[in-house]
Amino acid sequence: MHEQHEKLEQILASLEQPDNSVLQLEIQQWVAVSEENRAYYEEVKRIWFTGNEPGDMEYDIDTEKKRFWDRIDAETPTAPVRRIGRFTKLSVAAVLLITAGLALWKWVLPDKDSFKTINTARLQRDSVVLADGSTVYLHGSSRLRYTVRMDKDKREVWLEKGEAWFDIAKDKDHPFIVHVDSSTVEVLGTSFDVRITDTTVSVAVASGKVGFTAIKDKAEAILTPGLTGSYVKASQNIRVVESSNQLAWRTGQVKFYDSPLHEVLATMEQIYEVNVAMAPTLAKTRVTATINNLSLEKIITLLEASLDINIRQADSMNYKASPTR
């Protein structure tokens, strides 16, 4: 337990910095060492998230640490005890939460305020049916956080990384809100896809109408089927284009009309979770094609035959496109 206490500051930092890939990897490696580490991490994470206000995606680490300890104080059964140091305090909380089992956990944390998280690894797909009947499909390398119950004025989820397709159950009295980075996507009942990258947040609509808002920059867009809106963090605006290719990982169809080759390769990267480097001499190459339900290998064959290029595989994740001569 002493080693776990020493890891606490790093665990809290990882919860405050979900996009810090190096820190997240270190924590996940530590969690994988033992079942005790995993249980300790999960209990700390649960207390942390239930102490935050839903939708508050900007944490001040000192404030959140204070909330964390206050939360543990509040959850400890009232008794005349002396004040104890924070490491000892967490030890007591860990013993209470881990050894007492699920019944005690439900006693100190009401179900309606609890969160669940679903993660997918690379090349893994998963889905979850929410309490309101909506279904979320996760692409590989993605993470979604959601409430177990949805009985408030708004239905809310948090897409913390990656990509997800949402089929939203219609409920005109309770808007469905997807929180993404510093943006929100709001609907009443529709189907759409949301994708996060280091530089953009993009939303593609399959059916219905979607309101897309970049909160900090006050950029807004109303999206309908066939449109994709991309919030570019550097330019601080939302760019809307007529394209449904972002939906391809679910629909199985992509369409290109006189599109640059790098755009086609980027779509391949997104659907199949690979990296495709392109030789600079192919920068002016254009593609017009409609592709339906083809595997990565068949798309490569099609592009090679129609464009007179070679696409060679370097390893399981990396490819290189170059002229045949």
In the chain the domains, ranked by start, together with CATH numbers, are 2-109 (no CATH), 115-246 (2.60.120.1440), 252-323 (3.55.50.30)
- Which residue in 317, 190, 194 sits closest to 249, CA to CA? 194
Which secondary-structure segment (H or E) carries 14?
helix 8-16
Across 41-45, 115-119, 222-226, 315-319, least confident range: 41-45
Q: Is the pLDDT of residue 249 over 70?
A: yes
Between 322 and 84, the higher pLDDT residue:
322
Query: 3-state DSSP: the chain helix, strand, coil percent, rounded to 5?
Result: 35, 35, 30
- pLDDT score of 4: 53
Given CA atoms 26, 28, 34, 37 in this order, what sign does their dihedral have?
positive
Average confidence score pLDDT of the chain? 80
Q: 158-188, pLDDT tens digit by residue? A: 999 999 999 999 998 899 999 998 789 999 8
Q: 207-227, pLDDT tens digit by residue? A: 999 999 987 767 899 999 999
Angle at 272 between CA 180 and CA 233, to 5 degrees: 30
DSSP letter assigned to residue 121? -
Cα 112 off chain centre by: 22
Extract the tokens encoding 221.
């867009």
The phi, psi pair for 294, rounded to 5°, reads: -100, 150
Cα 21 off chain centre by: 13
Q: Which CB contacts under 8 angstroms, 24+ apart, belong to 215-220?
A: 215/182, 215/183, 215/184, 216/182
Q: 55-72, pLDDT tens digit by residue? A: 333 434 455 555 555 655
Across 16-30, 152-166, 225-239, 285-299, least confident range: 16-30
pTM comes to: 0.65
Extract the tokens encoding 15.
């919860």
Q: Which positions ≥6 away from 159 have C-beta within 8 Å? A: 142, 143, 144, 178, 179, 180, 194, 196
